[in-house]
């Protein structure tokens, strides 16, 4: 039987990495058969594409190129790593997936959901996530918590207004797609981890 596919989404500074680390510890301790991976990246070729996308020097990159590079990294990672693990019955936990492209490139960059869906069809048609956990915190609150944006990261440098559009994009997606479950993450990391774990148990994704 195909394994479950869990995706984590959120704005910059939402604490995704911390939550994924805590979930990974829990899954290891409970003996789950799982892999944890990330986008953009997660496989050798996709990590190369990631470097091009996030390189702060690539200021001339147009929005369409950015969206296509994320889609290219996604399909390579999916075919090389995610799909084989799911077919082997493993639980796959992935840091970001198609909703990132819809929120960042579709909404915040203004390319529109139709364009993003069309270039990602090959990936998402066959392997939709079973559940997407959205770590919910506004960019204003998040940047305050992490004391500003990372100077070397092209995406983080786009400014608060851009990241507020990303956040609004996620909210619009949530209104349409019931597989996205929001978990408020403005409290302590342990509180959030507990809420994430309970949600995944409730949905019978983890034990």
Residue 155 touches ligand TYD, criterion: CB under 6 A: yes
**End-to-end Cα, the chain, rounded Å:** 17
Residue 3 touches ligand TYD, criterion: CB under 6 A: no
**Minimum gap (Å) between residue 96 Cβ and ligand TYD:** 4
* CA separation, residue 178 to residues 130, 171, 175 (Å): 11, 12, 7
Q: Which is nearer to ligand TYD, 68 or 131 (CB)?
A: 68
- Contact assessment for residue 111 and residue 67, using Cβ atoms and an 8 Å cutoff: yes
Residue 12 touches ligand TYD, criterion: CB under 6 A: yes
Q: Which stretch binds ligand TYD (CB under 6 A): 18-26, 95-103, 136-144, 180-188?
A: 95-103
Q: Which is nearer to ligand TYD, 4 or 96 (CB)?
A: 96
**Minimum gap (Å) between residue 168 Cβ and ligand TYD:** 15
Dist CA 45 CA 60 (whole Å): 22
**Counting every residue, how long is the chain?**
207
Residue 9 touches ligand TYD, criterion: CB under 6 A: no
Contact string 54-93 vs ligand TYD (x = CB under 6 A): x---------------x-----------------------
Q: How many helices (H) and strands (E) does the chain have?
A: 9, 5
Residue 169 touches ligand TYD, criterion: CB under 6 A: no
**Cα four-point dihedral sign 185, 186, 189, 195:** negative
Contact string 110-139 vs ligand TYD (x = CB under 6 A): ------------------------------
Pairing relation of β-strands 131-136 and 5-10? parallel
Q: What is the per-residue burial (b if ≥16 Cβ within 10 Å, else e) of 80-111?
A: ebbbebbeeebbbbbbbbbbbbbbbbbbbbeb
Residue ranges binding ligand TYD (CB under 6 A):
12, 16-17, 39-40, 54, 70, 95-96, 100-101, 104-105, 155
């Amino acid at each position: 039987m195909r394994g479950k596919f869990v995706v984590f989404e959120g704005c910059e500074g939402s604490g995704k990495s911390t939550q994924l680390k805590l979930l990974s510890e829990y899954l290891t301790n409970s003996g789950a058969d799982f892999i944890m991976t990330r986008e953009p990246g997660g496989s050798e070729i996709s990590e190369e594409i990631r470097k091009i996308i996030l390189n702060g020097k690539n200021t001339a990159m147009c929005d369409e190129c950015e969206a296509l590079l994320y889609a290219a990294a996604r399909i390579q990672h999916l075919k090389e790593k995610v799909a084989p693990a799911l077919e082997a019955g493993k639980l796959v936990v992935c840091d970001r997936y198609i909703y990132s492209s819809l929120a960042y490139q579709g909404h915040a960059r203004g390319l529109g959901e139709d364009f993003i869906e069309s270039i990602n069809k090959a990936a998402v048609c066959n392997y939709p996530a079973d559940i997407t956990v959205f770590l919910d915190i506004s960019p204003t609150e998040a940047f305050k918590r992490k004391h500003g944006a990372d100077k070397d990261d092209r995406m983080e440098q786009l400014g608060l207004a851009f990241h507020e559009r990303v956040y609004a994009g996620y909210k619009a997606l949530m209104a349409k797609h019931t597989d996205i479950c929001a978990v408020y993450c403005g409290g302590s990391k342990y509180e959030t981890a507990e809420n994430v774990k309970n949600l995944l148990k409730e949905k019978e994704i983890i034990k």
